[in-house]
């Protein structure tokens, strides 16, 4: 599983960058209408879903958690499309939808990190991102009637933090991949010399 993550480290980077872009847009324009909030967030969730499904399918034979990863991608894509097709829903429903998605993604990330704890270093970043995501989702469930401005600042803050954590994990995976590749080349050279 760690080989799959190392190979697809850039997908986590893309997800992190998308979250940071969304966060910056939200910080600079916190008084978006509920419809605009829904549309942007729906687009973000749908893109997340597509990247997750591509990652799951491209490494199907190598992944142990392929079904969980594919489910995460499908749920994100369907959820994004539902939100995108119903932009006129109330802010309360948008809040619950966003809360549910963050809890689901957080639990998925924590589960992934627990499976990887013996295979990679730095799984703590993935756990931290998952916990942060779950906490954010629970805060939204507890306070769904927050005003649009307050909700946008809250979403922007957590999206930015989770985006940074995703990028940190992806860079750790990339660095680990280069280290493994260098060690394999050293081992191959030693075997060639021994022959």
pLDDT in tens, 6-57: 677 777 788 888 888 888 887 777 666 556 766 777 888 888 888 888 878 8
Q: Identify the pLDDT of residue 71.
A: 85
Query: Which residue in this structure is represented by tokens 């995501």?
Result: 133
Domain range annotation of the chain = 2-194
Taking only the tens place, the pLDDT of each residue in 77-116 is 888 888 777 766 656 677 777 788 888 888 888 887 787 6
Amino acid 30: pLDDT: 61
For the chain, percent of residues with pLDDT exceeding 70: 67
Tell me the whole-structure pTM to 2 decimals. Answer: 0.55
In tens, the pLDDT along 138-168 reads: 887 887 766 555 667 777 787 888 888 888 8
Closest CA to 159 of 10, 13, 17: 17
Closest C-alpha among 130, 123, 106, 132 to residue 169? 123
Which residue in this structure is represented by tokens 């939100």? Answer: 83
Residue 168 makes CB contacts below 8 A (sequence gap 6+) with 122, 125
Residue 14: helix, strand or coil by DSSP? Answer: helix
Record the tokens describing residue 129, joined without a space: 């991102």
């Amino acid at each position: 599983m760690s080989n799959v993550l190392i190979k697809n480290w850039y997908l986590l980077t893309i997800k992190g960058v998308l979250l940071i872009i969304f966060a910056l847009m939200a910080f600079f324009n916190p008084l978006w209408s509920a419809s605009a909030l829904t549309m942007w967030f729906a687009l973000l969730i749908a893109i997340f879903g597509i990247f997750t499904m591509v990652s799951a399918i491209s490494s199907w034979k190598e992944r142990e958690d392929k079904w969980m990863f594919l489910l995460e991608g499908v749920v994100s894509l369907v959820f994004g499309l539902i939100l995108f097709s119903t932009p006129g829903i109330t802010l309360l429903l948008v809040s619950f939808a966003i809360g549910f998605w963050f809890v689901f993604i957080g639990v998925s990330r924590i589960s992934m990190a627990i499976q990887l704890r013996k295979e990679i270093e730095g799984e703590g970043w993935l756990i931290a991102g998952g916990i942060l995501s779950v906490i954010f989702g629970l805060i939204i469930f507890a306070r769904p009637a927050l005003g649009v401005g307050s909700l946008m600042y809250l979403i922007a803050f957590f999206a930015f933090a989770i985006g940074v954590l995703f990028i940190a994990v992806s860079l750790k995976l990339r660095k680990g991949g280069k280290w493994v590749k260098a060690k394999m080349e050293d081992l191959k050279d030693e075997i060639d010399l021994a022959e």
